[in-house]
């Protein structure tokens, strides 16, 4: 918590670091930033177009659908092995 978020260019109470990779469902040892206020399967900061709190409801819905499609496509192709 309270990491420097590149989406707002300052410290954020919702930004945190972790080594969990939601696409492989494993801890891979590579630190990534996660947004604690965003919802959905993949809450990594790098995938957000802008700060979750500044996004409109339609932008949030579109982003969540896009991430779900990415996840389902990878799941069907066997990419989680």
Please tell me the distance from the alpha carbon of residue 64 to that of residue 71, in angstroms, as a whole number: 11
> 81 pLDDT exceeds 70?
no
Is 35 within the bounds of a domain? yes
Instruction: State residue 46's pLDDT score.
Output: 92
Put simply, whether the predicted model's pTM sits higher than 0.85 gets the answer: no
What b-and-e string marks burial along 21-47, b requiring 16 or more CB atoms within 10 Å of the CB?
ebbeeeeeeeebbbbeebebebbbbeb
Which residues face 10 on adjacent strands? 5
Instruction: State residue 68's pLDDT score.
Output: 87
Is 39 within the bounds of a domain? yes
Is 81 within the bounds of a domain? no
CB atoms within 10 A of CB 52: 22
Please give the tally of structural domains in the chain.
1
Boundaries of domain holding 68: 3-76
Would you call 46 helix, strand, or coil by DSSP?
helix
pLDDT digits (tens, 9 = 90+) for 16-71: 999 998 888 899 999 999 999 998 878 999 989 999 999 999 999 999 898 888 88
Instruction: State residue 52's pLDDT score.
Output: 95
């Amino acid at each position: 918590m309270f990491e420097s978020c590149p989406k707002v260019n300052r410290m954020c109470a919702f930004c945190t670091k972790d080594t969990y990779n939601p696409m492989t469902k494993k801890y891979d040892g590579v630190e990534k930033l996660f947004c604690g206020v965003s919802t959905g399967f993949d809450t990594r900061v790098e995938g957000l177009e802008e700060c979750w709190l500044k996004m409109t409801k339609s932008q949030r819905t579109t982003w969540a659908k896009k991430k779900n499609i990415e996840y389902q496509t990878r799941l069907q192709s066997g990419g989680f092995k």
